[in-house]
């Protein structure tokens, strides 16, 4: 019991540290991605420079994936479940694996569905499959095969396999490798945090623990079959979505922001200036402030013309939430968007309840911000 308590305290401390690191990391990625997006808009005629910028953006998105893992481990990651095609997710992961898997290892996909629709979080589903594939890469060594398989599973199989009263079909994703397999004696431990069979410095022991947690957060199950010398298969089972229509992922908005006046508040100069330039290129008039006090002065002077305020949450001297409360005293109908490197779900819900119109997590794509601003501006001021 003492050992379990010490382990629990260690996990709690590490989770707090992970959340703080992810916050700072996300702010850095926001600056990097923002400036890369601006650069790409200016070099569209140069294919060589475009290639370099695309590589910067690609590596930055890999950083976002790492940050999501840290936030999930710290229990501060918000899961956004919506109808999503697992077939599409698998195809995207296969493309991503080109950057991680040596060409001497063959990656195959066996997708048995036209539309395997579940209620899922795209980022976390990418994480699940990617983590298992990277483990499979280590298992097969320099040569071998990794196969990702998707199938429909009858609810009766779920009831029998997991003693769970499933009410609808499930979709399974299996990641198989041709490695040496796992010793049966350690299988009960493989999902434990910090358990690893890799050499010191080559594994944290968190990968399978995170995968297991993410699968459960999707109301799913995971199991493993293995045979020494013949390989290993990890199989995840997810309930099919009751809403079979896929959510529209288009970033286009019916509400144009051209001609609108935006107040941007952020203490990170590089990010603030990049967002200001992007919005000006979209036809907006942009006022900017590096802290809450300057923002309040600007709002007093221009409150009749400012359509929306975009503010960072964590700033010196006055947080974005404190600034919002003071602006709301001047104008109860003010429309404010808050952004942050990370945010606990309960805090986000409270801010929305207090009147903040939208909360977005950094790093976000500048190409998405037009829609967010347009939708917020079009909101009924009484809501």
CA-CA distance, 290 to 288, in Å (whole number)? 7
pLDDT for 288 equals: 94
pLDDT for 286 equals: 95
Q: Is the pLDDT of residue 172 over 90?
A: yes
- Report the domain count for the chain: 3
In CATH, what number is assigned to the domain containing residue 201?
3.30.565.10
Domain that holds residue 313: 261-377
Are 189 and 49 members of one domain? no
Q: Is the pLDDT of residue 146 over 80?
A: yes
H-state helical runs in the chain:
2-42, 47-73, 86-96, 122-140, 155-162, 207-217, 269-281, 292-302, 320-330, 345-354, 366-377
Length of the chain, please? 383
Q: Would 250 be classed as within a structural domain? A: no
CA-CA distance, 27 to 218, in Å (whole number)? 28
Domain's final residue, options 239, 274, 293: 239
Are 231 and 309 members of one domain? no
pLDDT for 18 equals: 64
pLDDT for 114 equals: 56
Comparing 169 with 196, which gets the higher pLDDT? 169
CA-CA distance, 197 to 199, in Å (whole number)? 7
- Scan for tokens 């002065």, then name that residue: 297
Domain's final residue, options 48, 73, 98: 73
Pick the closest to residue 240 from 151, 112, 111 (CA basis). 151
In CATH, what number is assigned to the domain containing residue 269?
3.40.50.2300
CA-CA distance, 313 to 265, in Å (whole number)? 9
Q: Would 363 be classed as within a structural domain? A: yes
SS3 for 67-124 is: HHHHHHHCCCCCCCCEEEEHHHHHHHHHHHHHHCCCCCEEEEEEECCCCCEEEECHHH
Comparing 126 with 113, which gets the higher pLDDT? 126
pLDDT for 70 equals: 60
Helices 292-302 and 320-330, interaxial angle, to 10°? 20
Are 353 and 373 members of one domain? yes
Comparing 9 with 160, which gets the higher pLDDT? 160
Range with lowest mean pLDDT among 7-11, 76-80, 326-330 = 76-80
Are 176 and 277 members of one domain? no
Q: Would 253 be classed as within a structural domain? A: no
Q: Would 249 be classed as within a structural domain? A: no
Two tokens, residue 339:
């952004």
Comparing 248 with 58, which gets the higher pLDDT? 58
CA-CA distance, 259 to 283, in Å (whole number)? 6
Are 117 and 224 members of one domain? yes
CA-CA distance, 13 to 279, in Å (whole number)? 40
pLDDT for 8 equals: 60
Q: Would 383 be classed as within a structural domain? A: no
Are 156 and 66 members of one domain? no
Are 286 and 202 members of one domain? no
Are 157 and 193 members of one domain? yes
CA-CA distance, 239 to 121, in Å (whole number)? 13
CA-CA distance, 272 to 201, in Å (whole number)? 38
For residue range 176-204, what is the model confidence (pLDDT) as tens digits? 999 988 888 777 777 776 556 555 444 44
Q: Kindly state the average pLDDT of the residues 197-212.
A: 62
Are 115 and 219 members of one domain? yes
Are 330 and 351 members of one domain? yes
């Amino acid at each position: 019991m003492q050992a379990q308590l010490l382990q629990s305290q260690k996990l709690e401390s590490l989770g707090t540290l992970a959340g703080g690191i992810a916050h700072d990391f996300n702010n850095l990625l926001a600056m990097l991605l923002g400036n890369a997006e601006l650069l790409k808009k200016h070099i569209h005629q140069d294919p060589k420079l475009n290639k370099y910028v695309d590589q910067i953006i690609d590596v930055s998105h890999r950083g976002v994936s790492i940050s999501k893992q840290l936030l999930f481990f710290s229990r501060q990651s918000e899961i956004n479940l919506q109808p999503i095609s697992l077939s599409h997710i698998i195809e995207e992961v296969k493309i991503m694996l080109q950057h991680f898997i040596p060409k001497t290892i063959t990656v195959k996909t066996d997708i048995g569905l036209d539309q395997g629709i579940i209620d899922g979080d795209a980022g976390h589903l990418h994480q699940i499959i990617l983590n298992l594939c990277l483990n499979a890469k280590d298992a097969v060594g320099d040569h071998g095969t990794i196969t990702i398989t998707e199938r429909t599973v009858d609810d009766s199989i779920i009831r029998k396999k997991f003693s769970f009263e499933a009410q609808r079909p499930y979709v399974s994703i299996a990641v198989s490798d041709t490695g040496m397999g796992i010793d049966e004696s350690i299988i009960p431990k493989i999902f434990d945090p910090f358990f690893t069979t890799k050499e010191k410095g080559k594994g944290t022991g968190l990968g399978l623990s995170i995968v297991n947690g993410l699968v459960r957060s999707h109301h799913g199950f995971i199991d493993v079959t293995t045979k020494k010398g013949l390989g290993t298969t990890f199989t995840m089972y997810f309930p099919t979505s009751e809403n079979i229509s896929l959510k529209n992922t288009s970033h286009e908005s019916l509400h144009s922001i051209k001609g609108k006046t935006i107040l941007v508040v952020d203490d990170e100069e590089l990010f603030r200036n990049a967002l200001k330039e992007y919005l000006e290129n979209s036809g907006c008039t942009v006022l900017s402030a590096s802290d809450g006090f300057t923002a309040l002065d600007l709002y007093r002077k221009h409150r009749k013309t400012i359509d929306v305020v975009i503010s960072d949450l964590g700033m010196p001297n006055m947080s974005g939430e404190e600034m919002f409360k003071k602006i709301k005293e001047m104008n109860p109908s003010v429309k404010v968007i808050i952004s942050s490197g990370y945010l606990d779900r309960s805090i986000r819900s409270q801010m929305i309840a207090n009147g903040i119109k939208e909360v977005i997590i950094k790093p976000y794509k500048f190409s998405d911000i037009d829609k967010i601003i347009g939708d917020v501006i079009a909101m009924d001021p009484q809501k």
